[in-house]
């Protein structure tokens, strides 16, 4: 029996808030109204909430004075007046009732157009040029020198394969091992080429 009561109490704890709002289905409302009479413990929950609620209400002493309230209302109304003025200005303009308003609008438009035209026509720095100008000149020169050097080396190697005299000269400037290696490589390549040509002729 106690377990049943406990279960009922737990269930009522969940539903008490909607019960207080009379927001449960009709059958549920009738059910709980009946149970509240049968089981007094259930009322404790409602009574406790009401006591907290009453204490809380008693504690509310801070009020806004009428004077402050009136000032705040005036402020709220005046803020909206500014936007209402803008709205009225536009409406007047569209209705064509005021020539002066039209004149002001035309002048303002002309200023805007002039600003746009000036910004288009005026010289601007090319951002790409500006960017390249920031690149280090030494860096650019170094790249060119490196490429030149490599081309020179390739040229020399080609000459070595064609010219005996140049081979001697080259041998003189390079160490023996690297010269012999290079010559041997080139010889091998030439032999391979000759062989290929012979095969094709066959």
- Sites of contact with another protein (CB under 8 A): 13-14, 17-18, 21, 23, 48-49, 52-53, 55-64, 68-70, 72-73, 75-77, 79-80, 84
In the complex with another protein, which residue's Cβ is closer, 17 or 146?
Answer: 17
In the complex with another protein, which residue's Cβ is closer, 59 or 123?
Answer: 59
Residue 134 DSSP symbol: T
Q: Rounded to the nearest whole angstrom, what is the least distance from the CB of residue 64 to another protein in the complex?
A: 4
In the complex with another protein, which residue's Cβ is closer, 38 or 58?
Answer: 58
In the complex with another protein, which residue's Cβ is closer, 86 or 121?
Answer: 86
**Collapsing DSSP states into helix, strand and coil, what is residue 23?**
coil
Residue 45 CA: distances (Å) to CA of 5, 13, 168, 181: 14, 7, 114, 103
Q: Rounded to the nearest whole angstrom, what is the least distance from the CB of residue 83 to another protein in the complex?
A: 8
Q: Rounded to the nearest whole angstrom, what is the least distance from the CB of residue 65 to another protein in the complex?
A: 10
Q: Rounded to the nearest whole angstrom, what is the least distance from the CB of residue 18 to another protein in the complex?
A: 6
Q: Rounded to the nearest whole angstrom, what is the least distance from the CB of residue 35 to another protein in the complex?
A: 18
How far apart CA 106 and CA 98 sit, in angstroms, is: 13
Counting other chains too, the contacts that 49-53 makes at CB distance below 8 Å and 24 or more residues apart are 49/16, 49/20
How far apart CA 201 and CA 127 sit, in angstroms, is: 61
Q: What angle do CA 22, 28, 32 make, to 5 degrees?
A: 80
Q: Rounded to the nearest whole angstrom, what is the least distance from the CB of residue 72 to another protein in the complex?
A: 5
Counting other chains too, the contacts that 13-19 makes at CB distance below 8 Å and 24 or more residues apart are 13/45, 16/45, 16/46, 16/49
Could you identify the residue written with the tokens 């160490």?
175
The answer to whether the CB of 179 falls within 8 A of the CB of 171 is yes
In the complex with another protein, which residue's Cβ is closer, 44 or 104?
Answer: 44
In the complex with another protein, which residue's Cβ is closer, 81 or 176?
Answer: 81
């Amino acid at each position: 029996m106690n377990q049943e009561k406990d279960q009922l109490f737990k269930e009522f704890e969940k539903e008490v808030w909607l019960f207080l709002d009379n927001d449960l289905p009709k059958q549920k409302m009738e059910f709980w109204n009946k149970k509240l009479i049968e089981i007094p413990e259930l009322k404790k929950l409602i009574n406790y909430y009401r006591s907290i609620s009453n204490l809380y209400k008693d504690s509310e002493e801070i009020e806004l004075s009428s004077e402050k309230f009136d000032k705040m209302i005036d402020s709220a109304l005046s803020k909206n007046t500014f936007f209402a003025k803008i709205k009225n200005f536009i409406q007047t303009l569209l209705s064509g009732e005021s020539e002066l308003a039209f004149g002001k609008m035309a002048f303002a438009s002309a200023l805007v157009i002039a600003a746009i035209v000036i910004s288009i026509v005026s010289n601007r720095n090319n951002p790409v040029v500006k960017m390249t100008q920031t690149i280090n000149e030494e860096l650019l020169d170094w790249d060119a020198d490196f490429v030149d050097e490599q081309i020179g080396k390739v040229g020399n190697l080609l000459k070595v394969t064609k010219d005996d005299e140049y081979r001697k000269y080259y041998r003189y400037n390079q160490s023996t091992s690297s010269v012999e290696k290079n010559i041997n490589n080139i010889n091998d390549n030439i032999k391979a080429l000759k062989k290929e040509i012979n095969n094709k002729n066959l």
